[in-house]
Chain A
Amino acid sequence: MLMFRVKRDVTKRALNTICSSNYLRTRNFCGTAAVGVSSSIERDTDYAEKVGMTNKVNQHDIAIVGGGMVGLAFACALSSMPLTKQLSIAIIDSNPALSSRQCFNKNAIPDPRVSTVTPSTISFFKEVGAWEHVQQQRHAFFNQMQVWDYTGLGYTRYNARDVGKDCLGCVVENKVLANSLLLCLQFLGVVLWQNADFQKTIYSARLTSMAFPSQSSSAGNCAGQEYVKDNISGASPTKENEDKKCNNRFMKLDLSDSKSIYAKLVVGADGAKSHVREIAALKTTGWKYPQSAIICTVEHAMENHYAWQRFLPSGPIALLPIGNNFSNIVWTMRPEESAEHKSMNSDDFVKAVNHALDYGYGGHPQSNFLDGYIDKFSSLTGLGVESVKEPFQVPPRITNVVSERMAFPLSLMHAHDYASKRVVLVGDAAHTVHPLAGQGVNLGFGDASTLAKIIAEGLSVGTDIGELSLLKKYERDRKAANVTMMAILDGFQRAFSVDLGPINVLRAAAFHGAQYITPLKRNIISYAMGEQKWPLFS
């Protein structure tokens, strides 16, 4: 007991010495990767700091593995809240785009990798201050959406005015979203750095391995041992004490550039094939769809402000506006077809796209005799929404394919648990969905926003941010939202990939329902806009 107390005191003194040196971190993460890393090594060895919540170099509060859209969004969300902005954050990603400042030319050909962001994602971006950067780059709002199927039996038009909004969503290139979040982080960094709050470090490397804190105090297993020694030169804390110090609370992450960092919480934002998820042994359920998606950018004669989606027997084709006379195609089909469509010459591909969007199978869905009655009923009851009266429209005709065509297989995957002690998954690492309604990344942004808020809540009551009970709160919140959306999208996918007479009629009836039953329609719109937690029960 006495021995123990003495040791504690020695360590405490040593820590105090470190903490008294008041050093401002001046690392600029938008410099090139190589410079960033080497300069950090130089600086790391000759100072220690107590600027943020964690007071040692290479030791962070949170390590975000994966600097993609969701990982960066999470970092932005943390940086934008008073309780979390002082957290020391490490972002681990080997993508060179993270270490360069880019601004994308609005007039260049749009990248085929786009996302449809919902109004709720837009408000999240506004909250963290990233939306202004999106606005300076290319983005395309759409306020109407037409969904129909190949049988020509039914169609639905969604209009933002039905729910009293200006837009249903916005199509943005993934690289623009990521870049805006990065600019936002840099901007926050510049502003906050003057207050010595800036605590974000980007490690341009890959995660190679990850060690969990262990409860035992065996020597050699100690995560930050040499590191602790380096920094407490002058004092000599006993080994036993160090072991206890670094074993319990910090994850050790080994990086591909042979550096190691320590973090109280590791956030796996490293996509569908998450390495973090694998190391943490978080199990998943999922299946592959017998489908692939082809994506590309196409050009048409007129500017397009609508989102179009036509269900074909092999899968849906979507035409999303991306600004100017460009649109994005997401076309789901059988894998062998996708290989064929990818390699065919562009003239044939344009023909195939136009055919898929407008021809073949039945004619255009028409207003039928029922519509007149429904219209009268709606005007009598005053329950109608404007888009009920809107006739079916023919999608724009594609003139040219202007980007490479990319094909990727579709799958659905969901992690059983989003969190284990000191590890938590966000975005595609936790769930991959059918890209049917462009919801995938919105679910990821929802994860990022919720996790940041839960961490802020935890900090406000002094919780250890790696504590499982806190992370489970996030899991509970997000699982419900994600599973619901996944089930709906999966259900859609299944309902539309069958070509059987009776099912076609049912499907057409469902379209009519979605088109004419106003409360149902409002519900579908606000759910797809990410504003409502549960569909159909308002």
Chain B
Amino acid sequence: MAATRSLQRCRHLLCRPSFSLLRPSSSSFRFFSDAIAPHSTPPPLPTSPPIPSPESNSGNGGCSTIRSSLNEAEVAKFAAIAETWWDFEGPFKPLHQMNPTRISFIRSALCRHFRKDPFCARPFEGLKVIDVGCGGGILAEPLARMGASVTGIDAVDKNINIAGIHAESDPLTSSIEYRCTTAEQLVKENKKFDAVIALEVIEHVADPSEFCKSLAALTVPNGATVISTVSRTLRAFATAIVAAEYLLRWLPKGTHDWSSFLTAEELVLILQRTSISVKEMAGLSYNPLTGEWSLSDDLGVNFIAYGAKEGDVQ
């Protein structure tokens, strides 16, 4: 309920009537398939005043923080299935299947952003990357293997334990620093990262716009931010909730709350207000025949966005 309320507030802030102007075709970001084409950076929008989040988080298997965009019920939900993070046939199977596809997007986006050699085995060497909502480390470990010095944070301490134990067993991933904390807490500590990545997290937070502000604050000027989520479309409702949770039983029932989803346009707007201009977006499409995910231009269900933080702000 709390999530819905705050989201509604956030949508009001985003002045819905103007959405028609922000359809992907007229928007500043480009599609993955157009990635080679040159693009223009939109003029910076004035940043909106901070929105205080009413939720204060306490306990529940999570970390105690003063103020955060966390949703308590969501935290409890993930604590319950934490042990199965690295079971490829377990509740996180869809995430494991989707992982290589979203990482290939991140790889190509970050290689271009930071001018790294995409043909090398460890292109992220020298980059400080944070995985916000790292879970069991499904994304953090590949990032570390690709050379990044990775910090993984999650609000569920069980996740952090599992992620830490799992990463230890490979010399390539044992350098990952896992912390049970929130993005807001790290902002307080004045931590900065070259790239801030939050995949499939924003749909679980109580206040998406506050969450994006924290992500922006963690990103160094001219750094990169990558966010992926599920769109609030009827098609997403049919696939991500009805099919994935109820029919196919891929995900535990109640994993997603449709009303707290953001559409691609909403995400672009929220990020613009935090001085992150979205440069590229791609849809993640599932082919039920081959069981494989691929990148597409269809932002209707799962999508991933990469944006650059403006250099002159903050």
User: Is A105 an interface position by the 8 A CB rule?
Assistant: no
Q: How far is the CA of A335 from the CA of B25 in the complex (A)?
A: 72
Q: Which of B97, B100, B166, B171 interacts with A463 by CB under 8 Å? A: B100
**CB neighbours of B145 from chain A (8 A):** 459, 462-464
A1 B157 Cβ-Cβ under 8 A: yes
* Interface residues in B, total, Cβ within 8 A: 29
A65 CB → nearest B CB, Å: 22
Q: How far is the CA of A467 from the CA of B166 in the complex (A)?
A: 13
**CB neighbours of A249 from chain B (8 A):** 169-170
A82 B119 Cβ-Cβ under 8 A: yes
**CB neighbours of A241 from chain B (8 A):** 168
Q: A8-B164, A462-B146 are in contact. Are A248 and B103 (CB under 8 A)?
A: no
Q: A1-B161, A464-B141 are in contact. Are A459 and B168 (CB under 8 A)?
A: no
**CB neighbours of B175 from chain A (8 A):** 12, 15
Q: How far is the CA of A469 from the CA of B99 in the complex (A)?
A: 11
A248 B172 Cβ-Cβ under 8 A: no
B152-198 CB contacts (< 8 Å) to partner A:
157, 161, 164-166, 168-172, 174-175
* One of A49-57, A485-493, A495-503 at the interface: A49-57
Q: A460-B107, A462-B145, A464-B145 are in contact. Are A12 and B100 (CB under 8 A)?
A: no
**CB neighbours of B88 from chain A (8 A):** 467-469
B139 CB → nearest A CB, Å: 9
Q: Which of B121, B141, B166 interacts with A84 by CB under 8 Å? A: B121
A462 B103 Cβ-Cβ under 8 A: yes
B164 A4 Cβ-Cβ under 8 A: yes
A308 CB → nearest B CB, Å: 42
B149 CB → nearest A CB, Å: 12
User: Is B270 an interface position by the 8 A CB rule?
Assistant: no
**CB neighbours of B97 from chain A (8 A):** 469
User: Is B58 an interface position by the 8 A CB rule?
Assistant: no
Contact bitstring A118-130, B, C-beta under 8 A = 1, else 0: 0000000000000
User: Is B120 an interface position by the 8 A CB rule?
Assistant: yes
Among residues of B, the one whose C-beta sits closest to the C-beta of A264 is B170
B169 CB → nearest A CB, Å: 3
A53 B119 Cβ-Cβ under 8 A: no
- On B, residues with C-beta under 8 Å from A are 88, 96-97, 99-100, 103-104, 107, 119-121, 141-146, 157, 161, 164-166, 168-172, 174-175
A247 B169 Cβ-Cβ under 8 A: yes
B206 CB → nearest A CB, Å: 26
Contact bitstring A10-26, B, C-beta under 8 A = 1, else 0: 01100100000000000
A452 CB → nearest B CB, Å: 14
List 6 A-B pairs, Cβ < 8 Å.
A8-B164, A53-B121, A54-B172, A86-B121, A246-B169, A459-B145
Among residues of B, the one whose C-beta sits closest to the C-beta of A241 is B168
Q: How far is the CA of A524 from the CA of B160 in the complex (A)?
A: 57
**CB neighbours of A517 from chain B (8 A):** none
Q: How far is the CA of A149 from the CA of B168 in the complex (A)?
A: 64
B121 A83 Cβ-Cβ under 8 A: yes
A8 B120 Cβ-Cβ under 8 A: no
**CB neighbours of A468 from chain B (8 A):** 88
A50-78 CB contacts (< 8 Å) to partner B:
53-56, 59
Q: A462-B142, A462-B145 are in contact. Are A15 and B174 (CB under 8 A)?
A: yes
User: Is A461 an interface position by the 8 A CB rule?
Assistant: yes
A270 CB → nearest B CB, Å: 26
A4 B121 Cβ-Cβ under 8 A: no
Q: How far is the CA of A53 from the CA of B122 in the complex (A)?
A: 9
User: Is A245 an interface position by the 8 A CB rule?
Assistant: yes
Q: How far is the CA of A394 from the CA of B5 in the complex (A)?
A: 88
Sample of 20 more A-B contacts, CB < 8 Å, known A82-B120, A264-B170, A459-B145: A4-B164, A8-B164, A11-B174, A15-B171, A15-B175, A53-B172, A83-B119, A241-B168, A244-B165, A244-B169, A245-B174, A458-B100, A459-B121, A461-B103, A462-B142, A462-B146, A463-B100, A464-B141, A469-B96, A469-B97
Q: A1-B157, A8-B164, A12-B175 are in contact. Are A464 and B121 (CB under 8 A)?
A: no
* Interface residues in A, total, Cβ within 8 A: 34
**CB neighbours of A462 from chain B (8 A):** 103, 141-146
A277-330 CB contacts (< 8 Å) to partner B:
none
**CB neighbours of B174 from chain A (8 A):** 8, 11-12, 15, 245
Q: How far is the CA of A463 from the CA of B141 in the complex (A)?
A: 8
B103 CB → nearest A CB, Å: 4
Among residues of A, the one whose C-beta sits closest to the C-beta of B157 is A1
Q: How far is the CA of A39 from the CA of B104 in the complex (A)?
A: 41
A454 CB → nearest B CB, Å: 11
Q: Which of B142, B143, B146, B171 interacts with A56 by CB under 8 Å? A: B171
A4 B161 Cβ-Cβ under 8 A: yes
Q: How far is the CA of A241 from the CA of B107 in the complex (A)?
A: 32
Q: How far is the CA of A83 from the CA of B123 in the complex (A)?
A: 10
**CB neighbours of A461 from chain B (8 A):** 99-100, 103-104, 107, 142, 146
Q: How far is the CA of A510 from the CA of B37 in the complex (A)?
A: 54
B121 A248 Cβ-Cβ under 8 A: no
Among residues of B, the one whose C-beta sits closest to the C-beta of A9 is B177
Q: How far is the CA of A467 from the CA of B142 in the complex (A)?
A: 12
**CB neighbours of B143 from chain A (8 A):** 462
Among residues of B, the one whose C-beta sits closest to the C-beta of A81 is B119
B121 A8 Cβ-Cβ under 8 A: no
**CB neighbours of A247 from chain B (8 A):** 169
**CB neighbours of B103 from chain A (8 A):** 461-462
Q: How far is the CA of A247 from the CA of B166 in the complex (A)?
A: 11
**CB neighbours of A457 from chain B (8 A):** 100
Q: How far is the CA of A313 from the CA of B168 in the complex (A)?
A: 62
Q: A462-B141, A462-B145 are in contact. Are A55 and B96 (CB under 8 A)?
A: no
**CB neighbours of A8 from chain B (8 A):** 164, 168, 174
Among residues of A, the one whose C-beta sits closest to the C-beta of B290 is A476
Most A Cβ at <10 Å: residue of B104, B145, B157, B168? B168
**CB neighbours of B170 from chain A (8 A):** 248-249, 264, 464
Q: Which of A4, A11, A248, A469 interacts with B166 by CB under 8 Å? A: A248
Q: How far is the CA of A84 from the CA of B121 in the complex (A)?
A: 7
Among residues of B, the one whose C-beta sits closest to the C-beta of A459 is B121
Q: How far is the CA of A242 from the CA of B218 in the complex (A)?
A: 34
Q: How far is the CA of A54 from the CA of B142 in the complex (A)?
A: 15
Q: How far is the CA of A32 from the CA of B276 in the complex (A)?
A: 60
B93 CB → nearest A CB, Å: 9
A463 B142 Cβ-Cβ under 8 A: yes
Most A Cβ at <10 Å: residue of B88, B99, B121, B145? B121
**CB neighbours of A54 from chain B (8 A):** 171-172
Contact bitstring A469-511, B, C-beta under 8 A = 1, else 0: 1000000000000000000000000000000000000000000
Q: How far is the CA of A459 from the CA of B142 in the complex (A)?
A: 9
Q: How far is the CA of A1 from the CA of B88 in the complex (A)?
A: 26
Q: Which 9 A-B pairs have the closest CB atoms?
A: A462-B142, A248-B169, A462-B145, A461-B103, A461-B100, A462-B146, A82-B119, A249-B170, A249-B169
